[in-house]
Structure 1
């Protein structure tokens, strides 16, 4: 593998988080993906080796910058990063080598980068409006908790109820920044947010690796494989969730969303060897994530319940409390519909008939989508409405929750 992989801290065979791709229940999933891909997605022995190594690999460039933080006066490292992001690395006098190496990578424009696809991927993300938030929160994020080991970094923050809202705000800020048309250009907010989140992950990784409670059999915290899985959550899993609601996308639109997140993954330090290049690659990678996912555990339930309960918090007055309970039930119903009852039970979600609401409304959405496709100017109008909705709601959430959107780890919460 490239320099993205570090010297392994232990034998990959000692990992206890790797599921068996040949375990009962995967045959039907394998057959489905084989039909969709027109090839067998089952990981080979060589690919399993890469998967295990990726689970034991951090982000050397970002990790070196975080190590640099510790050699400088408090806050100095972050100021250097901010200046390099705002004014360029050349604006720094004699910058540290770790910072030079990081910016050499992020300032390098990949030969495969297609700005037209970036633009289209952003437009698709805007067009779906608040449905995108529903899918990201109640399918992508919620489903990510099913892998007990992968979710451990969140558990180690403690105060799960408080941190659930913090993560929603941070994820919303990050998603809005990187999906804004033009936002990934050098110096724009999407580009800067991707790098800041990358460094926040490296800081969390450093803190957890120093913790006596971290078990390396879980793999590296926020490792390469889990980071690639997060890119899938925002791309093909995101698209799958929207299609389950009745949204329609052309092949070029789907490829555009995947391309957008390929570049975000590049900026966030995901090794290009495991970073999917197109929709087919992404679906193959998704199967391999599902095939090797570890067991759920008690932390899966704790995180699932905390995320679901976020809808009930900060509700003042009878009307607001009623609306909170309704939102909680509808969101839980969507998770149960899209993830399945077995997964929802592991996440501690209530059994509710609202899971039938979502497939029932899908035909209506399909009809609206067909009308959109046939109506000139409809895409532009929906983009405007989507931008207005999410840019109007987000500042209110930040103010209401007094949330921090600077992507800075809260050290005092780590146990």
Structure 2
């Protein structure tokens, strides 16, 4: 699998080159790529066709059940993604170096939180991942952004021989490991009760999302069992936080503690959430301290979260939680984890 660490996404990189030639922005990227493809641009046609091809293993019905589970467990999902998954995106030295080099984390932590939220929470509506739908277009946008980041890093002198391609195919292939199986473990640690079919559906959402982000089929499992094998190897390969990752982790914690609405949670509780979601070994790797006060607060919070999961067995409660979660996650996907005004993303 390691040769993929030295490969980017030629289809997306060619299209970003076309967009630069035409002085076109990434705003409304899907419409622009579609228009250029209709006008005969071969690079845009190839990228569109690659995005449009749905793998045989995609099952929208199964993904719908996984997404519904996530919506009903929206508190567990939000906490798991924020405190258990987001840190993994800079857990490798190369990823941490890219964040620092582009200024996307340390220069504007709030904007980074909201950029991540748009994808993390938006894919719970799995129907929106169908070709041409809203989250499908969002994945196309992210894929092009990754191509631009690669181009910038290489032009700035990135050491490709020693560090591989920035935002490589292999690194992007860690998506199902970070946001699928690991996230489900995080949610269960908070008391979520997830059926096997729901877990399979949610993991499939992230396998398909990762394909839409440009990862080749060779790096994705045709079955969940095969994907589990890939995920285990990728987690062992890409969790290696260095001093830069620890600095970013400290910035992330500071941002969450200073920006509304997450600032309403005591810092000690947020520290405890990071440790619970990541596990002691990963938390130690990031330099996250132990907070006994935060652990006590979390121990009082967990029964409430477990109660939300048990409540879903009450007639009518499951449907109500699903509707509420759908509205909340949709708003988070649009506005972000922190207030748009704080993030500098307000209209």
TM-score (norm 1): 0.74
Paired residue total:
343
Cα shift at 1:356: 5.0
Change in 2 beyond 3 A, CA 1:245/1:278:
farther
Write out aligned runs for 1:349-364 (5 A).
349-353=288-292, 354-358=294-298, 361-362=301-302
Distance 1:221 1:402 in 2: 27
Change in 2 beyond 3 A, CA 1:89/1:130:
farther
Residue 269 of structure 1 is matched in structure 2 by: 214
Match of 2:278 among 325, 339, 345: 339
Write out aligned runs for 1:63-74 (5 A).
63-70=13-20, 72-74=21-23
1:83-118 per-residue CA deviation (whole Å, 9 max, x = no partner) reads 345xx776x222x21111101111123222212112
Check conservation: 2:175, 2:206, Cα contact below 8 A: no
Distance 1:360 1:148 in 2: 36
Match of 1:397 among 332, 335, 339: 339
Write out aligned runs for 1:10-409 (5 A).
50=1, 52-70=2-20, 72-75=21-24, 81-85=30-34, 92-94=38-40, 96-158=41-103, 160-293=105-238, 295-314=240-259, 324=263, 326-353=265-292, 354-358=294-298, 361-362=301-302, 365-372=305-312, 374-392=313-331, 395=335, 397-403=339-345
Check conservation: 1:311, 1:325, Cα contact below 8 A: no
Structure 1: which 5+ residue stretches go unaligned? Answer: 1-49, 406-415
The structure with more helix, counted as a fraction of residues: 2
Cα shift at 1:177: 2.7
Check conservation: 1:224, 1:270, Cα contact below 8 A: yes
Change in 2 beyond 3 A, CA 1:301/1:325:
farther
Change in 2 beyond 3 A, CA 1:231/1:167:
farther
Distance 1:76 1:139 in 2: 33
Residue 5 of structure 1 is matched in structure 2 by: none
Structure 2: which 5+ residue stretches go unaligned? Answer: none
Check conservation: 2:172, 2:215, Cα contact below 8 A: yes
TM-score (norm 2): 0.88
Distance 1:79 1:159 in 2: 21
Distance 1:196 1:258 in 2: 22
Check conservation: 2:51, 2:131, Cα contact below 8 A: no
Check conservation: 2:66, 2:197, Cα contact below 8 A: no
Cα shift at 1:295: 3.6
1:20-63 per-residue CA deviation (whole Å, 9 max, x = no partner) reads xxxxxxxxxxxxxxxxxxxxxxxxxxxxxx2x112111112112
